[in-house]
Chain A
Amino acid sequence: MILEVEKPLLELERKIRELQEVDRSAGVDLSAEIRLLERKARQLKESIFQNLSAWDRVQLARHVDRPGTLDYVAHLFTDFVELHGDRFYADDPAVVAGLARFHGQPCVVLGHQKGRGTRENLARNFGMPNPEGFRKAGRLMRLAARFGLPIFTFVDTPGAYPGIEAEERGQFEAIASNIALMSELPVPILTVVIGEGGSGGALGIALADRVLILENSVYSVISPEGCATILWRDAARAEQAATALGLTSETLKRLGLVDEVLAEPLGGAHRDFEGTFRTVQDALRHHLETLQDMEGHALLDARYAKYRRMAVLGEAR
């Protein structure tokens, strides 16, 4: 997957690789030229990634190579034991969940899981949960609360699945129940928006003491395409809608809707997994430490107060 915004950079990087190849195989010394191009590539990378539009970030957030929930689980946690099923109807592969340890501390970790490639994406339903996904998450969050374990959730979904069976089995109820549940569990809840935060399907696992968001992730009330269709009856104006919706990490922080923006390595999370994991791990560790010092009722009061403030109101004369 190649993003429009990355094209000049990828072109330059291809040229550098070609020169390196010639340098090696033909025995011609091109090291000066290579160094020059490498410097140019660095500058280009900086100028591209310091001036991303909202629409560029939507593309980055959806990038197929971007690290997903299971990548974070594998690198930030140990002893992961995946647990399946909602105990009512089915297991939803669009949501992964289980027990694990974070720096030795037992916890519940869960998140949306997209696939890489068509086959995996079909199996994972493109990371779009059915009601069972939310109910599995809810079941394990209740388990966490019963045993005093902190909860980590990773958000990466286009949205809850819009299907006949999903509606029949109460998609609206499944989402609402999880949101309400997360407002009343007296254990620390930490959420990271790692890719695409798609509306209610995202919020269904994302009411938390700390909501962190990676710099190039997006979180939106509606997809830019959906918004453009409704407002202007033209999905092609998604780029304009992306700007209007205020879905970037920067805007969300300014509005007080997320707690911290986590800087990504230059070029985006998909270009440096290790660097991204380090950032997320350090942030989660720091926030968990603060939250673990709080009593259950103080945690709940602070959580309620945080959401209580999330409104911009006007007063008529």
Chain B
Amino acid sequence: MAGLFDSLRARRPRVDRVAASAASSEHWVKCSGCGTAIYRPIFLENGKVCEKCAHHHRMTAWERLDLLADAGTFQEWDASLVSVDPLGFGQEYLDKLHSDRERTGLSDGLLSGSCSLGGIPVALGIMDFNFRGGSMGSVVGEKVVRVLEGAAERRIPAVLVTCSGGARMQEGMLSLMQMGRTCAAVRRLNQVPAPFLVVMTDPTTAGVAASFAALGDVILAEPGATIGFSGRRVIEQTIRQELPPGFQSSEFYLEHGFLDRVVPRAELKDTVAAILGMLCVPAEVRR
């Protein structure tokens, strides 16, 4: 996976950001899975996967883009769409939006556009946990809908990489309604038909898990990702007992039949391309 992060763009942050869970210094990164110190260039070359324990650290949307898109093919969509404060939550929220925009180089919690992936043209959306926990408000919902509609129009596959704690609380019910409109847009894409592939990464929970993410024709997940509807703490408080280890992980949902495959990061792009290659049958053959 050499050259994983080599298509630097003007807007993206200079420094590759390591997931907050990985304590880091300039040269060394501490693995949040096993605690091993990893030499940073090696860590990045391995796509932020620990060599020792295979723990998959979170990627930024830009890093994920480099992992999936063929170099130089990405055309960003809706880069100027930004969140407002429709309920008047206050200046603190607006300030956080502003600083997250600066820090991530994203307009909101999702990076979207068209590109080719293993030679296949796709509409691609990637969520970023560094932007308000990847939470879905109006802008994220709108961009997801536009990815799905854009794919339907062009009759190309839609690929959405999820990474989100759920709805954006500060937009109240507007956030909840994003679940409705994204699900409706998936069904329109299904009718074309064009393939819809979901990659669940850590975490994919609550309002994102319970909407478009659950509706992929094929649903892949990265190893060890937290997936589920209710949060761990809420469940523990409700049933008043501790949850078993591995509960609500990718492997848990694979076992229970809600995911198609758990795919290590190093194999992700090839797997996605292989699946899409078989589903993208030209229209004349289909008839």
**CB within 8 Å of B: which residues of A?**
160-164, 166-173, 175-177, 179-180, 183-184, 199-200, 203-204, 207, 219-222, 226-227, 230-231, 244-247, 251-252, 255, 257, 303-304, 307-308, 310-317
Chain B residues within 8 Å of chain A by Cβ, number: 59
> CB within 8 A of B177: which of A180, A227, A246, A310?
A310
B169 and A227 contacting across the interface, CB-CB below 8 Å: yes
**0 or 1 for each of B218-249: is its CB under 8 Å from A? (1 = yes):** 00000000011111001100110001000110
Contact B214 A203 (CB under 8 A): no
Name which residue of chain B comes closest to A208, CB basis.
Answer: B180
- Least distance between B170 CB and chain A CB atoms (Å): 8
Query: Is B187's CB within 8 Å of the partner chain A?
Result: yes
One of A168, A308, A313 near B139 (C-beta < 8 A): A313
Question: Is B172 within 8 A of A246, CB to CB?
Answer: yes
CB distance from A110 to the nearest CB of B (A): 18
Query: Smallest CB–CB gap between A138 and chain B, Å?
Result: 13
- Confirm or deny: B163 has a beta carbon within 8 angstroms of a beta carbon on chain A: no
Are A312 and B138 in contact, with the CB atoms below 8 A? Answer: yes
Q: Give Cα A109–Cα B29 distance, bound, in whole angstroms.
A: 57
User: Does B62 count as interface, using CB distance less than 8 angstroms?
Assistant: no
- A304-B141 contact in complex given A221-B169, A222-B169, C-beta closer than 8 Å: no
A160: chain B residues within 8 A (beta carbon): 210, 229-230
Q: A160-B229, A255-B174 are in contact. Are A231 and B209 (CB under 8 A)?
A: no
Q: Assuming the A-B contacts A163-B235, A171-B229, A183-B184, are A176 and B215 also in contact, with contact meaning beta carbons closer than 8 angstroms in the complex?
A: yes
Which chain B residues numbered 84 to 126 have a C-beta less than 8 Å away from chain A? 84, 86-87, 89, 107
Measured between alpha carbons, how far is A222 from B167 in the docked complex, in Å? 9
In the bound complex, CA of A307 to CA of B174 (Å): 11
Q: Assuming A164-B247, A308-B145, is B229 touching A200 (CB within 8 A)?
A: yes
Known pairs A312-B174, A314-B84; A162 contacts B167 (CB<8 A) = no
**A167-B235, A172-B229, A180-B215 known; A252 vs B173 contact (CB < 8 Å):** yes
**Contact yes or no, A164 B243, CB < 8 A:** yes
Contacts of A164 in B (CB 8 A): 235, 239, 243, 247
Contact between chains at B256 and A316 (CB < 8 Å): no
Comparing B2-10, B18-26, B41-49, B75-83, the segment that makes contact with chain A is B75-83
Contact B173 A230 (CB under 8 A): no
Do residues B180 and A207 form an inter-chain contact, with CB atoms below 8 A? yes
Cβ of A304 and Cβ of B173 under 8 Å apart?
A: no
CB pair B81–A314 under 8 Å, yes or no, is yes
Q: Which residue of A lies closest to B141 (CB)?
A: A311
